[in-house]
Structure 1
Amino acid sequence: MKSVVHHAFLDPKKRRFGIVGGLGALGGADVLLKMIRSAQRMSSLSGTDIAFEQRHFGEEAIVADGSYDPTRRKFYIYNALKDMEARGIDTALVPCFLSHTFLGEITPEVGLQVVSVFDALCRHFTSEVVGVRKIGVLTSTYLKRAGMFERELGRFGQVIYPDDDTQASTVMQAVYGARGLRAGHHGGECQHLLLDACLHLVDAGADIIVPGMTEIPVLIDSLRPQVPVPILDANLLYAEYALGIDAAAPRRGFKLGVVGGVGPAATVDFMHKVVKLTAATRDQDHIKMVVEQNPQIPDRTANLIGSGDDPTIALLATCMRLKADGADAVAIPCNTAHAYVDRIQPYLDIPIVNMLSEVVRYIRETLPAVTRVGLLATSGTVASGVYKSATEAAGLELLVPDGAVQASVMEAIYGRRGVKAGFTRGACAAHLVDAIVHLQSCGAEVIVLGCTELPLIELTNIDAQRLPLIDPTAILARCCVALAGASCDARPDTVEAEAL
């Protein structure tokens, strides 16, 4: 069955709300109706865009089983939220208590704000409810066993439920039975069953009753006059709370976008160094990364020193795809590609972490006595002058190899037995050592391995210790780890919503 979507024209200047229907259809429709009425009563929200999406989701009464498997429900909600995100909806409601047991698994993977019904209930208890000792809850057997209400509402009072026999014969029958709410019956037997369940909770000492299934508030007007304690309209509270909170970007962890394939081995090396430099005790402590391994980006050196294709558009397109996939910043583990960063950055609204400027800053901070810096890089990087500009701006003199030695450096990188061909020992190492010795004899006090493949070449301890060798890949990785840490420190653990 095709999805059924109801929404007005989405005005870009207005808040855009979406309601995931179909989880129970009756409860979702009730939230929609109450949200529309609430918005109409608020002059500032008049004409608010509200999209209601209901697809076929025929699980029938299996939700009544305490051993219910919610996997299909997770996929349903994830797909519905992603579709809403694609249509520009900024705030979504999921009117299904059961689904809130796993919403935390879904919300980090979508780019819109998903409002919690439990946040709405907690706000109401905090601001409106006093003197409560016991909170009676009418919910499904699955949620009763899951302990969700104890975790969310337990600080406001003792959470109690109908006993097991009453739960099965009244609450579940009233909602899931043959003459229950889900079967289309809105009075008679189901109403009497719910009334019996409410009175059972009152006899057990409940000072207030919370409907923990979205179908129950449909009958709230007929139940309230017959029950001697307040019954909350959870659907109305949910709708009003969602309308009253500010639109906010979803809270999620920092994500690093990586332009990969320039070159492929250097990309893997960069990711390895990010992992190694991250202080973590478990998988979840590591940085989320999205990588586009795109070796088809035109060769940067070929373009800078010859007639090779311009890689600017390919680099920008890759960065934009990373941005679309949720990246908060971009790393390009390729020195030569940084000759194009100034062209790309104005067209990208997330930062590209500039490896070259970070290398110069590192030298200045850790080796303050250094004045002469040697550079071993591709001929394209050398010809572009990007390192020369960065070092001279910091008051450093840049030294590069003469023509013959620069040819050896290129052989170490691009040669038949070079590092781009998969070699890390032998001829490529000999070429690199010769270049290091050459720059040392020219007066270099430190050498930047200014091609991200060069640090992959294995040197003997003696050769590696001739003078300090700077690994830009490691510096870029360290900077990205620090950026992720700063982003997490700046993000509050909780965001207080503004009440109307």
Structure 2
Amino acid sequence: MENFFTILGGMGTLATESFVHTLNRRTDAHRDQDYLNYIVVNHATIPDRTEFIKNPSLENPEEKLIEDIKIHSQLAPEFFVIPCNTAHYYFEEMQKSTKIPILHMPRIAVEAIGENFPTAKRIAVLATEGTILTGVYREELEAQGYEGVIPDEALQEKVNRLIYQEVKENKNLNFELYHEILADVALKMDCEVTILGCTELSVLYETYDLAGEFNIIDAQAETVHRTLLMMGKEDLLDEHK
């Protein structure tokens, strides 16, 4: 197979399914041959990224991630996509392990702020505790001239519940809790834009269209957009026009 890319997924599986579904839905295709060539690797048994970041005595997922990168680099994809924000804590080491470019999901999300909300300065980040602790979004926001704001303890508990208990454990796309969290950000955090920096939140973003009510940048949706551009395809839902 030529002219393809590789999706390193399974972190979690529903989020990987959401990435693929969003990618296909936004591809301008009228026959089988119009869709993109790609390989999906659903490595569901990679150790939990957030659990390790919070407790380094647990199994480190970095070794498994780098092993996957090395194995699948042998097939020579155009680039890798990793639909897991927390895994980007290991981005530098993963990229060092291959000559194949790896798309940086948090960086792509932050770059999209200026395209969609050019006057915004104060940006909220909703993500796993692991992603928050690593500072991957804070670093990208500061590097691009934004102020990054993270939830307080009470709001982070709601985000954790939505990600882990609702979506991951029970496959429940809890609209009421999702809307409540976004409303809390708008009312209490004084931020112009909210980044959804967790691919479980991206599943909710794909399902419920709240763009008319809240200023949202979804990291996964922006990575889908970048993927389509890099593969020379039009994005049917291009919000950047």
TM over 0.5: yes
Question: Given residue 315 of structure 1, which amino acid in structure 2 is its aligned partner?
Answer: L
Asked if 1:419 is matched to 2:173, the reply is no
| Residue of structure 2 in register with 1:318 after alignment | 68
Q: What is the DSSP-based 3-state SS (H/G/I as helix, E as strand, rest coil) of the residue aligned with 1:453?
A: helix
| Residue of structure 2 in register with 1:400 after alignment | 150
Larger Rg: 1
| Residue of structure 2 in register with 1:470 after alignment | 217
CA distance in 2, matches of 1:432, 1:277: 24
Q: What is the DSSP-based 3-state SS (H/G/I as helix, E as strand, rest coil) of the residue aligned with 2:199?
A: coil
CA distance in 1, matches of 2:62, 2:167: 24
Q: For each residue in 1:96-130, what CA deviation from the matched residue of structure 2 results, as whole angstroms up to 9, or x when unmatched? A: xxxxxxxxxxxxx4xxxxxxxxxxxxxxxxxxxxx
Question: Given residue 337 of structure 1, which amino acid in structure 2 is its aligned partner?
Answer: A
Alignment partner of 1:456 out of 191, 203, 222: 203
CA distance in 2, matches of 1:323, 1:279: 28
Q: Structure 1 stretches of 5 or more lacking a match?
A: 1-108, 110-251, 487-500
The total of aligned residue pairs comes to 230
Question: Given residue 423 of structure 1, which amino acid in structure 2 is its aligned partner?
Answer: K
Q: For each residue in 1:375-401, what CA deviation from the matched residue of structure 2 results, as whole angstroms up to 9, or x when unmatched? A: 110000000000000001111111111
Q: What is the DSSP-based 3-state SS (H/G/I as helix, E as strand, rest coil) of the residue aligned with 1:448?
A: strand
Task: Report how far residue 452 of structure 1 moved.
Answer: 0.4
Percentage of pairs with the same residue: 32
Task: Report how far residue 464 of structure 1 moved.
Answer: 5.5
Asked if 1:262 is matched to 2:8, the reply is no
Alignment partner of 1:358 out of 100, 108, 121: 108
Q: For each residue in 1:333-372, what CA deviation from the matched residue of structure 2 results, as whole angstroms up to 9, or x when unmatched? A: 0111111111210111101011111111111122110111
| Residue of structure 1 in register with 2:127 after alignment | 377
| Residue of structure 1 in register with 2:191 after alignment | 444
| Residue of structure 2 in register with 1:59 after alignment | none
Say if 1:292 and 1:322, in contact at 8 Å, map to a contact too. Answer: no
Say if 2:69 and 2:97, in contact at 8 Å, map to a contact too. Answer: no
Question: Given residue 349 of structure 1, which amino acid in structure 2 is its aligned partner?
Answer: K
Asked if 1:482 is matched to 2:232, the reply is no
Q: For each residue in 1:408-456, what CA deviation from the matched residue of structure 2 results, as whole angstroms up to 9, or x when unmatched? A: 11011112xx10124334xx43333332222212111111111101122
CA distance in 1, matches of 2:15, 2:222: 13
Alignment RMSD, CA only? 1.8
TM-score, normalised relative to structure 1: 0.44
Q: What is the DSSP-based 3-state SS (H/G/I as helix, E as strand, rest coil) of the residue aligned with 2:15?
A: helix
Q: For each residue in 1:302-353, what CA deviation from the matched residue of structure 2 results, as whole angstroms up to 9, or x when unmatched? A: 1112233211111111122222233221000011111111121011110101
Q: What is the DSSP-based 3-state SS (H/G/I as helix, E as strand, rest coil) of the residue aligned with 1:485?
A: coil
Q: What is the DSSP-based 3-state SS (H/G/I as helix, E as strand, rest coil) of the residue aligned with 1:334?
A: coil
Task: Report how far residue 460 of structure 1 moved.
Answer: 6.4
TM-score, normalised relative to structure 2: 0.89
Question: Given residue 420 of structure 1, which amino acid in structure 2 is its aligned partner?
Answer: K
Q: What is the DSSP-based 3-state SS (H/G/I as helix, E as strand, rest coil) of the residue aligned with 2:28?
A: coil
CA distance in 1, matches of 2:135, 2:127: 11
Q: What is the DSSP-based 3-state SS (H/G/I as helix, E as strand, rest coil) of the residue aligned with 1:343?
A: helix
1:77-96 alignment runs, 5 A limit: none
CA distance in 2, matches of 1:446, 1:452: 17
If asked which structure has higher relative contact order (CA below 8 Å, sep 6+), I would say 2
Alignment partner of 1:290 out of 4, 27, 39: 39
Alignment partner of 1:430 out of 173, 176, 185: 176
Say if 1:400 and 1:439, in contact at 8 Å, map to a contact too. Answer: no
Alignment partner of 1:303 out of 52, 56, 60: 52
Q: What is the DSSP-based 3-state SS (H/G/I as helix, E as strand, rest coil) of the residue aligned with 2:118?
A: coil
